[in-house]
Structure 1
């Protein structure tokens, strides 16, 4: 049995690069896929490109819907929650990357090892390229295990690498398409890891991630980029994002595993306390980032009440 993958493609003014991305879908070694494109109001050649591939592949292989026009995260969540989209697995896709030919095959191989009733998320490192496809290096290689305690304060992988199963998708649907979140991929990591799911971070890249002026979120790579991310902790970005995630988790709080609910309650309770109990409580909750520098930043953010 070949498991069907729904490719959830969000587009907005993606004309210059979209055809290459679609070509990389067509070159997949795992061939049981359907593309669901949600366009957020493009005024360039995006619709022409989609129409051309729809004619080539057939209207049942590439379906186009109108996005909510509330930003990229809302566009992705609108696709995740569309009732008419039903598949074994769901792969999120940006409009301007180039997938390696075995991207879906590798994801499906791992997802097949997880019982269908257990939420599961596959994600990978990425290979970075410039606008013309020139190699720029790789996204950070994370070595600490993915978990809810990590997900509360950090996302380990880009949504463009993520593939998840139907059980994970049902949890995301239960939380709803209108959740106010920092980013769709971080949200998927929080939900799947929190609700007793399995998360696998594959250190082998699955795609070429294109870096250009229009990138909404650039790659978190290099010392300068990492220091910038740590700086955001001190400026209160993490506190704002955590506030959003605490509210967004409310509809599915009962689905958190017992251990993760305990972690969540310790963490959220500690955030409201005065200096010493706050720092001690946050430390006791067990949250962590992937690098020593990141964890130092976390400690300072806790001291400064920026978490």
Structure 2
């Protein structure tokens, strides 16, 4: 069976984490070891995972006491500190989801059949009131989408050992720079695509993606999510992050990137003309075009 290192970043997750871990260890036809890193919490998450690790040797808890302030720095810590050399694959996990039993075996089969190094998929969002919604991320990839969006929720990612080790090495060599990038799943996807790794986005949902008031990054649905995205566009955060990710991934000197990475009005208008190469879903392409135009008019970009 494929051996998989699952890395899980936790913070104040005692309400959900036991159900998530149970679903991880219920995976069929794979051999799983779980590595957990807990941001300093106020709800007893550290003690809970320690108790679980004491009775299940498949759980490895990284030393406590660090404050990360977000999921991305916590995942960077996991990638840096976990030894991936003995595993076939590395999978990312959030603390509050529920995995279907064939999530990992399906990912391994797809990777093997495609000869690919990275996998992600659709997800099924669900809410406490019983609502569910398929989050479709499997639209065809386009040339530059990796600089402007992730490959889907990071909790669907499965990476080959080769790619995981390369990301680990690169992250350690550019540690301070990585801390300025707020979304680890976006960075990992960009690095893989920019460096010639094949990434498969599966038209399948193997995860129940829990939505609640404390999601750091949730489903982009509804007025509140739209206003949140609009604010980040208007203050330039998204384009600044894209430029940083391009540099981190090694494509900052590409002529396409250098035309817009300085945030000039003409550069943003140039980028808008290439909207069809920058997002996978048509609706997002239109929103991207309008965002480029808006930001060029506002003439500002967060540094």
TM-score, normalization by structure 1: 0.83
Q: CA deviation at 1:3?
A: 1.6
- Give 1:281 shift: 5.9
Residue 18 of structure 2: aligned partner: 19
Q: Partner residue of 2:91? A: 91
Q: For residue 284 of structure 2, give the secondary structure of its aligned residue in structure 1.
A: helix
Q: 4+ runs of 1 displaced by more than 4 Å?
A: 273-278
The alignment covers a number of residue pairs equal to: 289
Deviations 1:130-153 (A, max 9, x none): 247x332122x2453235511111
Alignment of 1:258-277 (within 5 A): 264-272=254-262, 275-276=265-266
1:182 has 2:174 as partner? no
Distance in 1, Cα, partners of 2:267 & 2:95: 46
- Offset, 1:164: 0.7
Q: Which string of whole-angstrom CA distances, capped at 9 and with x for unpartnered residues, describes residues 200-245 of structure 1?
A: 1112211111111111111123576356535532331212212321
1:1-307 equivalences in 2 (<5 Å): 2-58=1-57, 61-66=58-63, 68-70=66-68, 71-82=70-81, 84-86=83-85, 87-115=87-115, 120-131=117-128, 134-139=130-135, 141-147=136-142, 149-177=144-172, 178=175, 179=178, 180-222=180-222, 225-226=225-226, 228-230=228-230, 232-249=232-249, 253=250, 264-272=254-262, 275-276=265-266, 279-280=269-270, 283=273, 287-303=277-293, 304-305=295-296
Structure 2: how far apart are the matches of 1:172 and 1:81?
Answer: 9
Query: How far apart are the structure 1 equivalents of 2:188 and 2:14?
Result: 27
Instruction: Report if aligned partners of 2:124, 2:208 keep a CA contact under 8 Å in 1.
Output: yes
SS of 1:112's partner is helix
The alignment's TM-score, normalised by the length of structure 2, stands at 0.84
Between the aligned partners of 2:9 and 2:164, the Cα distance in structure 1 is: 17
2:142 and 2:278 in contact (8 A); partners too: no
Q: For the structure 1 residues 274 and 217, does the alpha-carbon distance in structure 2 shift closer, same or farther, using more than 3 Å as the test?
A: closer
Unpaired stretches in structure 2, ≥5 consecutive residues:
none
Give, in angstroms, the shift of residue 83 of structure 1. 5.2
SS in 1 for 2:48: helix
Does structure 2 conserve the Cα–Cα contact (< 8 Å) formed by 1:81 and 1:172?
A: no
Compute the RMSD of aligned alpha carbons.
2.7
Shift of residue 73, structure 1, vs aligned partner: 0.3
